[in-house]
């Protein structure tokens, strides 16, 4: 199985790659901006003697030129893609009156525009022989009716846009062999959580969250399409 994971240099993405790499026969394409951390991930997988091939591709998804190059690199390594997990994300924690147009542009570029562009480039090589799955990683902050937090207006609204995009694509491609689903994650102990809520201790580890996401990515598309699933220990 050929699997792409973005945001693979840390946190949940890092753990997802290791989980998928544990299955022989998989090819796991790990995408992130930080080349050094991607190499550390490959060494980690090798040290654990994980049998799958891990392909590290450094790429800034917010850069249109690098995104086009990423598409060509993916095609050079695999003929088709079975699972795409859009896990990469950007956050700005700043009071709304202080947010600039550049802040909004930065967050939306990574969390929405880059995801849409990558999906456009990957869809032509999604596995037509069997049902494939695109999983978008959103946030409880972008889940309608959930508690919202001061300082995260740009981030949470971008994640709400990603959830809606998922529903739109599921409808547009419902006659294809591709399923689109979205997981709205609650708190997991990651570097991004620490950036948003310094000092907060999450009830779920990055490993535990990655385990759920990996299982969801491999199985859920046989049962659902166009769903926004809240994944949180608390109620909205």
Q: Which residues are catalytic?
A: 155
- CA-to-CA dists, residue 77 to 8, 122, 123, angstroms: 17, 13, 16
Cβ contact 167:228 at 8 Å:
yes
Contacts of 204 (CB under 8 A, 6+ apart): 186, 187, 188, 189, 233
Residue 213 to residue 152: CA distance in whole angstroms: 24
Cβ contact 58:35 at 8 Å:
yes
Contacts of 95 (CB under 8 A, 6+ apart): 150, 151
Q: In what order do the strands lie in the sheet with 53-58?
A: 53-58, 27-32, 2-6, 83-86, 132-139, 178-185, 228-231
Pairing of strands 53-58, 132-139: unpaired
> Position of tokens 């893609």?
81
């Amino acid at each position: 199985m050929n699997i792409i994971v973005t945001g693979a240099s840390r946190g949940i993405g890092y753990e997802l790659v290791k989980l998928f790499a544990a299955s022989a026969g998989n090819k796991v394409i790990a995408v992130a901006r930080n080349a050094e951390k991607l190499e550390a991930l490959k060494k980690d997988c090798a040290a654990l003697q994980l049998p799958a091939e891990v392909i590290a591709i450094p790429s800034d998804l917010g850069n249109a030129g690098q995104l086009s190059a990423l598409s060509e690199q993916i095609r050079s390594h695999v003929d088709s893609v079975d699972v795409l997990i859009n896990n990469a994300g950007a956050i700005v924690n700043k009071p709304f009156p202080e947010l600039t147009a550049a802040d909004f542009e930065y967050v939306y570029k990574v969390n929405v525009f880059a995801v849409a562009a990558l999906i456009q480039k990957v869809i032509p090589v999604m596995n037509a022989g069997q049902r494939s799955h695109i999983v978008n990683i959103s946030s409880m902050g972008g889940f309608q009716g959930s508690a919202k937090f001061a300082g995260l207006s740009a981030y949470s609204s971008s994640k709400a846009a990603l959830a809606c995009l998922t529903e739109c694509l599921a409808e547009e491609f419902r006659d294809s062999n591709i399923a689109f689903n979205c997981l709205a994650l609650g708190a997991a102990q990651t570097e991004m959580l620490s950036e948003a809520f310094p000092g907060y201790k999450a009830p779920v580890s990055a490993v535990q969250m990655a385990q759920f996401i990996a299982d969801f990515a491999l199985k859920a598309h046989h049962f659902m399409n166009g769903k926004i699933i809240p994944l949180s220990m608390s109620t909205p």
